[in-house]
Every structure is written in C-alpha cells, then in structure tokens.
Structure 1
Amino acid sequence: MSTAFLRMMLERGDHEVFHEPFSSIVVQGHTIVGERVATSHDELLKLLEERADDHPVFVKETTEYDYLTTGGDRIPYVGRHTFIVRDPRRVIPSHYAMNPDMVCDEIGYGYQVEIARRVREATGVRPFVVEAEDLLTDARDTVERYCRYAGIPFLPSSLSWQPGDQKVWSRTSQWHRDAAGSSAFQRSDRTYGSTVDNDRFLYECYWHHRPHYNMLRKWARSHAVSAA
C-alpha cells in the first residue's frame, strides 16, 4: 500500500520522488540523489534539503531499520512527516513470505512509532497518519485529507495510473509486484501459507507490534474525526 501511495505521488508529476533512500544506505552503503551519492543518513538529509529548496520533494521510506540511532537523528527536524500504517495481521505474513529470515523488529512498527514521537516533540503536534485500509475504502477522501495536511493541491487524476514497474523502485522491485500490476489503490487477493494464526513466530511478532500499531491507528482516527 505504501508503494501504491508512492505510485500516486509519481502520477502527480509535481514532486521529485525518492524510494527508500535511508534503507538503501543501510543495505548497500549508499543512495543516489540527483547526480550525487550519499553514504550516510546525515549526508542524505542535507542533499534532500538542497533539492527541496528548488522544487517539491517526496520521500517514501520503510522502518525496517533504526535510522534515528545510526546517524539519522536529524530526521524528525527535516521536512514534513506523514505516516502510513496497516494492520500487522496483513503486513507480517507478506513480509515473511519475501524474507523468511526476518527478525521481528524488522516489521518496523516500533521504529515507526519512535520517529512519530520524535516528530511530535519537534513540532508540537501529532504528525498526520494515513490508515492504509482507508485508501481501499475511500481513496479520494483519504488522499484529499492528506493533501490538505501536506499543503499541496489535490489532483483527482493521480488516483489512477498505468500499470508497470517504475525505475525509482528498481532496487527492490521484487517486493512491489502488486504495486507494479495495479492501476489504482486496490485490495490484493494474495494469500500466504504462514500467517499469524498458524505460525508461532509470526503470532508472537504480531502481538509485539500490535500496541505500536494501535497507537498510530488512534492518531489516524483522530485526524479522520477532526476533518469530518
């Protein structure tokens, strides 16, 4: 769902879009920003700030890793942060199917909550949280609320697109087959052999992350109520 959201931002055509540059530094030791190479989170932040001085920039990132304690302590102070959250009952089996050697922390809700808390401390307000399921039930209203918060125009035409892989996510394209095959925000009918109901490790991982998910979901619900 987060990759579909990035696909929607690409369809807008008014932002330079970056796909998981912070995790790229963790995994491969560098990431590309324009014509330059960043090899640390702080260097990446500086390059993104430079780009944003010239034109709108959108960064989609996962929270598999703890960026805040590995050189990314400035992250909460750069840009305008928004978060997308989805029921871990759906997320965990999907991640495990792609990465059977995963450790529980890689699911990322704990790291995501910590960044969200730091953003709240830095700004004095709760950051905007999108509940992924809302994109499936009412994409127009959800994206419109997001755009209003982000201070960008809502473009209805961006809610649909042509299917296909995108260069921006080429490093991790095997993770984004559903997004590549989509033409809008749509529910996947993919099923998994191992789930939180039949695998002990996934079950324990689910209950570890559920409190973090519930906190972010509460924030998402509060934004939905205040906008109503």
Structure 2
Amino acid sequence: MSSDQARIMIWSTPRSLSTAFTRSMSARGDTKIFWEPYLNCYSYGRDRTLHWADDIPGVINDKYTFNYVNDMMGKFQSDSKVLFAKCMIEGITGNFDVVAPGYKHTFLIRHPLKMYRSFEKLSEDLVPIDYKTTFKNIYQELEKFYDHVINELGQSAPPIIDADDLLAQPKTVLSKYCELIGIPFTPKMLKWDCVENFSVLDWECTDVGAITRPEHTEGLTMSKALQSTGFGDGSKKKTNYSSEDYSDDVKECAEHALPVYERLYDLRIKI
C-alpha cells in the first residue's frame, strides 16, 4: 500500500443519504469509489444470505464473494489518492471479520424515523423486503461494528456524521470529516453533476443488483442522489420528529432503534 493513498470506508443503515455522500467523495476527482461491495455479496453474490432478488433476471452475479471484493479493494490504484468504499452494515452482519484490512472506518447515521419511513416507501414501491423483520436490529449492528473497529481493529474512535447535520452545514461537516480521516477538503465535494444512471460514474461494483439498473433509477431508490447536484444551500433544518406523520410500523421500529441512534449521535462530528 502506498503511504500517500488513503483508504476509507463509510458504514450506514439503508436510506441514510449514503449515496449522496458517495457522490460528494466522487466529485473530489482523486477518489476511486467502491459501491456497496459487501452488500453485493450479501444480496446478489454466490454465498448470498438475502434472497429477495433471486427471481429478478440479470441481477445475481456469482463472482461477488468476499474474497473477490477484498482483492479488488486491496489493489493499489495508481490514478487515485483516495480509495473510498460505501457500505451497508447489513452486508457484514454477524461476519465482521470479512472486512478488508488497511481501511479507516467511518460512519453515517440518520434519525430512525426518517430511515424507516424511507425504507417503508422503498419496500412498497420496489424492494419486497419486510423491513420490520430484516432491519429491526440494524442500528444495533451498526453500533456493534463501531465497537469492533475500536476494540478489535485497534482504530481510534471512528468519525460519525449525522445526515441532518450534513444537510444543514455540508461544508463544515465535510471539512471536519476530511480533517479527521487525513485527506484535504476540497470545495469540489459540495457540488457535482446531475447524471441519469450509474454507468457514467465509473464506480466499481455497480455491475450487479437491481438497485443500480437503469429501469429503477427514475424511481424512489436512487433518483434523488443521481439527479442531485449537491447537498443544498444549508438552509434545511432538523425535523421536529414529534410532529411528523409516521405509520405505526415505522414508529415501532424507530422506538427500538432510538437508544442506539442517540448514543451514536452523541459521538458524532459536532457542528
């Protein structure tokens, strides 16, 4: 590994602005992106344990094993100063040891009411997953891996970004994030071009799965992140969660997740 090549992963729950964050990293111009490599193994690879997409033509690819993605992510990229992997925590649930060595781990969190409401809409429109069961303990898994990074991998307390903070003050949050992970901040991270689909982004690991297929990019799944050109002007305020209209299922899931979210929130990058 080259001493001047930063290797970074960011972990999150689903529906937590992680694609927008990845677009920000990609906009730097010096960064190689690995798109959800472990989630691809979990959902679409030879040893997948999630089978919701088994009957969807063209989305399964047996080459996606943990060895395959770790070999890809471990190679030196001569044209990139930063290697950046955006990962969903469910891709390594109960299997933390599969994660590639040599990467600095960071985290992105979102209030569980927003996360579960977004996933409820996704499950109704596209992905037939019972989020109430599959993702009941997803925040708990995120916290477990946070502790694993410190206690087993020996890294210092990983930086945590809260999605609301990112939308409210993107420049401040991104500047502090870059400082903590040891790469220079650039204003390029605040703006990027609108695109129609993933094929023009030149990201690794986007050749598998239903979510990145062109026929789905106009739906709820990825359209906002693909068509966006930045995080906004910083005028967005945090939601008054008590006033929102959420379903009983979303409220139940969020109540279960809230204590973990609040613990992680207390450790976040402060603005």
* TM-score clears 0.5: yes
Other-structure match for 2:20: 4
Structure 2: give runs of 5+ residues left out of the alignment: 1-16, 47-61, 237-243
- Cα distance between partner residues in 2 of 1:7 and 1:148: 19
Cα RMSD (Å): 2.8
Return closer, same or farther for 1:11/1:178 CA change in 2, 3 Å cut-off: same
Residue 49 of structure 1, aligned match among 74, 77, 85: 74
Q: Could you report, residue by residue, the CA deviation over 1:169-197 in whole angstroms, capped at 9, with x for unpaired residues? A: 57424421111121111399xxxxxxx85
Return closer, same or farther for 1:120/1:38 CA change in 2, 3 Å cut-off: farther
Return closer, same or farther for 1:78/1:111 CA change in 2, 3 Å cut-off: farther
The answer to whether the aligner puts 1:181 opposite 2:227 as a matched pair is: yes
Q: Which amino acid in structure 2 is aligned with residue 94 of structure 1?
A: S
Secondary structure of residue in 1 paired with 2:270: helix
- Cα distance between partner residues in 2 of 1:8 and 1:14: 12
| Larger RCO, structures 1/2 (Cα 8 Å, 6+ apart) | 2
Percent identical pairs in the alignment equals: 24
- 1:52 deviates by 5.9
Q: Which amino acid in structure 1 is aligned with residue 123 of structure 2?
A: N
- 1:38 deviates by 5.0
Residue 144 of structure 1, aligned match among 163, 170, 175: 175
The structure that is helix-richer by fraction is 1
- 1:84 deviates by 0.5
The answer to whether the aligner puts 1:102 opposite 2:127 as a matched pair is: no
The answer to whether the aligner puts 1:214 opposite 2:214 as a matched pair is: no
- 1:124 deviates by 4.9
- Cα distance between partner residues in 1 of 2:250 and 2:149: 29
- Cα distance between partner residues in 2 of 1:215 and 1:9: 26
TM-score (norm. length: structure 2): 0.68
Secondary structure of residue in 1 paired with 2:104: coil
Q: How many residues align?
A: 210
Structure 1: give runs of 5+ residues left out of the alignment: 31-36, 189-195
- 1:125 deviates by 2.2
Paired residues for 1:30-179 under 5 Å? 39-51=64-76, 55=80, 56-63=82-89, 65=90, 67-70=92-95, 72-75=96-99, 77-100=101-124, 101-104=129-132, 105-106=134-135, 108-121=138-151, 122-164=153-195, 165-167=197-199, 168=203, 171=209, 172-173=211-212, 174=216, 175-179=221-225
TM-score (norm. length: structure 1): 0.80
- 1:158 deviates by 2.2
